[in-house]
Chain A
Amino acid sequence: MEGGEGRDEEQDGMSVHSPCNAPPSSASSLRKEQSQVELELRLLEALEIYPPAKLRGIHRHFVLYGLMEFLRRSFGRHFSPSDVLQLLDRFYDLEMLKPDDDDAEILNQEEDFSLPQSYFIKEES
């Protein structure tokens, strides 16, 4: 973990000039702008469930999958992983985010593999 206050870095990761800094609007792009706002709102909603810090840890692919699915359901269209990452890029500098502490905690204790007892039921009875 790169040192420093993790929680604060999340704030730092917030990009200053987005998302309000949309391209200069002509009348025709007004609708587009609205849909952008909608998109961003939904994304922020999704981030409540899938915290950006988790995009740095071992679960990152499943977190990204969760975001893809959330947006797919919200807008009824497909979002690719890079779509989601680009969208995220408006709010966060993922490189700057400190990986989730809890993620670092798992899989740090060696434990021999063992099959659950249920696999042996035939042998036992």
Chain B
Amino acid sequence: MGSSKDDSATDGDNSSGDLPDSNSGLFSEGEKVLAYHGPRIYEAKVQKAEFRKKEWRYFVHYLGWNKNWDEWVGMDRLMKHSEENVLKQQALDKKQGVDKNPKSGRSIQAKPKSSTEVKVDKDDTKSNGVTKGKKRKSESGVEKDNVSLEKIVKIQIPSTLKKQLVDDWEFIAQQDKLVKLPRSPNVDDLLTKYLEYRSKKDGMMTDSVGEILNGLRCYFDKALPVILLYKQERQQYHEAVADNVSPSSIYGAEHLLRLFVKLPELLAYVNIEEETLIRLQQKLLDFVKFLQKNQGTFFLSAYDSSRGSEGSSKGKDN
């Protein structure tokens, strides 16, 4: 991913003024696409689409990559996620000498330290007067901490919990429902329950587990408003969480489970040694299994459709 980088949409990009009509239509927000980045094609998702300066600009997130790589691109960088184009992607990968597993290939080859440095340099020379200091800074910061993507923690989420997450998405994003807050048990309760369960099982020496659980709570409280909410839930958050209240006392298993989807991303910032990472992985997995074992009691089976707290009926509540 070391090639030239289109900057923010506000920049006076004059490279391609016209819409290429050859392209099979526009891309929509939320659409999964294939995106060129440098010599390769990556799976990406269109987060935003905006029409600026006579051309469509898309803010894309590269799936499986840190969001610091998210960027505005023109449509010349995107392709529909069709079978044909996936084949194209694979062919390109092959040509670039990537091994079978695109993930590992990407992590090793596509993002070495140097590539970002090159990229940053390019930004500098481009110097088109856009305020991008912040972005660059975060990129270099990530680079420093995030050097080895292959050392990332892997948590295999059991299939019944994956299903739970898909149902969660369906309730909220598709059916316009919400988790009724506050939840009981809340995240704090869940963590405490687990610690009790663990100390009963092991006797003593649970303080490393305790430290991990504290870490999870800390992540949860910080991450919830930023990356763990669907768009539909933001208003509810502002209503339900007062300034001096921690989300872990309001939200429950549904949202905690989402943290586990994001956890590898967050933990990548800590440069954990391999042996420790393996142990940590086991401990996190044990916690996930605890959630699974109690899935019936910890998770809601039905979400709130009235949206009563928001006062506005969208005609959905019949």
Given known contacts A78-B205, A81-B211, A116 and B231 CB-to-CB distance under 8 angstroms: no
Given known contacts A68-B208, A107-B222, A62 and B166 CB-to-CB distance under 8 angstroms: no
Is B215 an interface residue, CB under 8 A from the partner? yes
Q: Which chain B residues (113-152) contact chain A, with CB distance < 8 Å? A: 137-138, 141-142, 144-145
Is B272 an interface residue, CB under 8 A from the partner? yes
Q: Whole-angstrom distance between the alpha carbons of A109 and B225 in the complex?
A: 10
Number of interface residues of A (CB under 8 A): 38
Given known contacts A105-B137, A105-B141, A110-B226, A68 and B269 CB-to-CB distance under 8 angstroms: no
Residue pair A111, B43 in contact (C-beta under 8 Å): no
Given known contacts A59-B215, A102-B145, A80 and B271 CB-to-CB distance under 8 angstroms: no
Taken residue by residue from 86 to 121, chain A's Cβ proximity to chain B (1 for < 8 Å, 0 otherwise) reads as 000000000000000111011111111111110110
Residue pair B273, A49 in contact (C-beta under 8 Å): yes
Given known contacts A69-B208, A78-B205, A113 and B218 CB-to-CB distance under 8 angstroms: no
Is B230 an interface residue, CB under 8 A from the partner? yes
Q: List B contacts of A119 (CB < 8 A).
A: 162, 165-166, 169
Main secondary structure of the interface of A (DSSP, over half): helix
**B interface residues, Cβ below 8 angstroms from A:** 32, 43, 45, 47, 61, 63-64, 67, 137-138, 141-142, 144-145, 162, 165-166, 169, 205, 207-208, 210-212, 214-215, 218-219, 222-223, 225-231, 258, 261-262, 266-267, 269-273, 275-276, 279-280
**A interface residues, Cβ below 8 angstroms from B:** 49-50, 54, 58-66, 68-70, 73, 78, 80-81, 101-103, 105-117, 119-120, 123
